[in-house]
Amino acid sequence: MHNKLCTCWNCPAINLAGKVDFRACGQSAKDLKEKMGLQDSFQIMAECKRRPELGLYDPMSITFEECPEWRESPFGYLLKDMRVMILGIDGYLGWTLALWLGNRGLQVSGVDNYNRRIWVKERGAHTVVPISRMSERLQAAKEVLNIDINFREIDIANERERLKEFIDEVKPEAIIHYAECPSAPFSMIDADHAIYVQKNNVLGTLGLLFIMRDIVPESSLLKLGTMGEYGTPLTGRPLFEGMFPSDAILKWGDREWSLGGELTPRDPPSFYHASKVQDTFNIAEACKYWWLRSHDIMQGVIYGVHTDQVAADPRLRTRFDIDEWFGTVINRLVAQAIIGIPLTLYGTGEQIRGFIALEDAMQCMTRLIAHPPEPGQYAVANQISGYYSLRELAITIAKIGKEEFNLPVKIQRIENPRVESERHPFEPIFENLPKRFGFVPCVRLEEEVYRTYKLLIQPEIRRRIEEKKHHIIPKTWWSGEKRRVETLEIFEIEEEINRSNERLEHSRR
Ligand code: USQ
């Protein structure tokens, strides 16, 4: 178990309030020692909110393995009936995680203001997998999976008092923060959209940090960041997990400095990605000022449709977007294959990105919830299970469409409406999740693409893709131009397979 040696120091049930002066750790120890007649050697004393009978004790002295409140699970020790609050519970990830965690015995509460539904509607698009209203979702979760979800409609960026009240009522032991606008193209439509996305994301998160400071400082924050924060540095420098490793060195002239522990440089490719960069700094500062604890999760491009819970009943399905603003690339390409649009590669299609399937992302989140950082710790995990060039992906998706579903799939290169490197080195480091938290990817790309085809090919869903196909080819240019992109080249997949083999040959020479 990855977290068996974590102690009460990591545990959100710890009560440190008033026992430690964090500004100079240990400063209060003398007073406490005199008052309580404690041993010379102790540093920090705490109480347990779940086991008050322990009285004041050394929080490093009990491990998760030893504590009866932590129970073994396939994802490490999990706190019994742990209270988790999901902000953005109505979204693609939020809803899936609510059912996933509820199914594993965690007490799930959640907040949403239905903004994702509103943004997609504003663009004239829709989720091609139909989703139920929240009231029906909650009822189905109870009926089908016996999960009770405590839901409150709240806009976290604009209704801080109501969020505070709800957090105070529930006292969540972990807060999963998915309540941000996730779209790069949406943030690039015009000034109004850019300003909106940055306000919504940055200020929503900033307000939440203050609420956590005041109400639940011991609870851990799991905040969704993005691999896109790092950009794709042309030097080929590895994309470390948030911070430079201890042995990284800055050399300038004949002098050298350690870079260990400093945040790595960021190069976000859109105003949306830039909002996540600002969040990073705000969260890291809050951990420093107030000893909050956070996992900042740099998630790669997410894809897929499946977990056992969302597949359990049509009313439990999660949303699935394929339009130019809210569809991520793999999900979009499968939908395109289904209705005969040649798969859209932007520019050269040689961009490389890190990816993770929906179900694997759920596993990662559970492992991180099970392993809260220490007070004051700002921890980062690059949450991907592999990386591919877009061409490789398109070929894989086309092959599965052709061979398994008999679809006449083609691939097209179109003008790239974004400003991004189209040929670049890419070396993401993604060691924390497997090495520190025991993550083993369970979903193969081909398997999830196959499952996605299986769902999308159903007549009702296929019809819903057809209905919104005019939103597939992008019109949102980073430059501000207002026109649909042009096709540069269309090719059959056999040609593309030969080309990629040739490139492979060439690179071997
Ligand atoms: N792309 C295509 N064809 C398409 C759509 C996209 O070639 O039809 C290309 C884009 O140019 C880009 C790459 O695919 O190079 C990924 O684009 P995307 O739209 O799938 O993903 P992105 O805009 O980067 O954003 C998505 C999520 C975002 C998350 C991010 C993780 O929407 O919330 O932060 O993935 S990452 O990309 O690692 O930063």
- DSSP track, 355-395: EEEHHHHHHHHHHHHTSPPPTT-EEEEEE-SEEEEHHHHHH
Give the ligand 1 atom nearest the CA of 390.
7
Predicted pLDDT of residue 17 = 64
The identity of residue 226, as a single letter, is T
- 68 and 139 together in one domain: no
Query: In angstroms, how far apart are the furthest CA atoms of the chain?
Result: 80
Predicted TM-score of the model (pTM): 0.95
Residue 80: left if φ>0, alpha if ψ -120 to 50, beta else—which one?
beta
Ligand 1 centroid from CA 324, angstroms: 10
Nearest CA to ligand 1 atom 16: 329
Predicted pLDDT of residue 294 = 97
Predicted pLDDT of residue 38 = 55
Ligand 1 centroid from CA 149, angstroms: 31
Asked if residues 188 and 238 have their Cβ atoms less than 8 Å apart, the reply is no
Reading the chain (509 residues) residue by residue, the pLDDT tens digits are: 999 999 999 999 999 765 555 544 443 445 545 655 555 555 678 899 999 999 988 898 999 999 999 999 999 999 999 999 999 999 999 999 999 999 999 999 999 999 999 999 999 999 999 999 999 999 999 999 999 999 999 999 999 999 999 999 999 999 999 999 999 999 999 999 999 999 999 999 999 999 999 999 999 999 999 999 999 999 999 999 999 999 999 999 999 999 999 999 999 999 999 999 999 999 999 999 999 999 999 999 999 999 999 999 999 999 999 999 999 999 999 999 999 999 999 999 999 999 999 999 999 999 999 999 999 999 999 999 999 999 999 999 999 999 999 999 999 999 999 999 999 999 999 999 999 999 999 999 999 999 999 999 999 999 999 999 999 999 999 999 999 999 999 988 887 777 766 765 665 55
Enumerate the active-site residues: 226, 272, 276
Q: How many domains does the chain have?
A: 2
Ligand 1 centroid from CA 250, angstroms: 31
Listed residues 76, 91, 113: the one ending a domain = 76
Predicted pLDDT of residue 24 = 42
- Ligand 1 contact, 391 CB (< 6 A): no
Give the ligand 1 atom nearest the CA of 229.
39
Paired sense of beta strands 410-414 and 487-492, if any: antiparallel
- 294 and 409 together in one domain: yes
CATH of the domain at 122: 3.40.50.720
Predicted pLDDT of residue 43 = 63
Q: Which domain holds residue 497?
A: 81-508
Token duo for residue 82: 């742990």
- 54 and 151 together in one domain: no
Listed residues 59, 76, 93: the one ending a domain = 76
- 113 and 261 together in one domain: yes
Span between the terminal Cα atoms of the chain, in Å: 45
- Ligand 1 contact, 285 CB (< 6 A): no
- 58 and 109 together in one domain: no
- 293 and 410 together in one domain: yes
Nearest CA to ligand 1 atom 21: 328
The C-alpha angle with vertex 88 and arms to 87 and 94, in degrees rounded to 5, equals 100
- 207 and 178 together in one domain: yes
CA distances from 311 to 99, 132, 299, 305, 405 (A): 11, 14, 23, 9, 21
- Ligand 1 contact, 183 CB (< 6 A): yes
- 43 and 137 together in one domain: no
Listed residues 44, 59, 76: the one ending a domain = 76
- 71 and 215 together in one domain: no
- 51 and 107 together in one domain: no
Ligand 1 centroid from CA 29, angstroms: 51
Paired sense of beta strands 14-15 and 47-48, if any: antiparallel
Give the ligand 1 atom nearest the CA of 474.
8
Give the 3-state secondary structure of 167-235.
Answer: HHHHCCCEEEECCCCCCHHHHCCCHHHHHHHHHHHHHHHHHHHHHHHHHCCCCEEEEEEEHHHHCCCCC
- 14 and 153 together in one domain: no
Q: Between 329-339 and 459-467, two packed helices, what is the crossing angle to 10 degrees? A: 100
- 314 and 168 together in one domain: yes
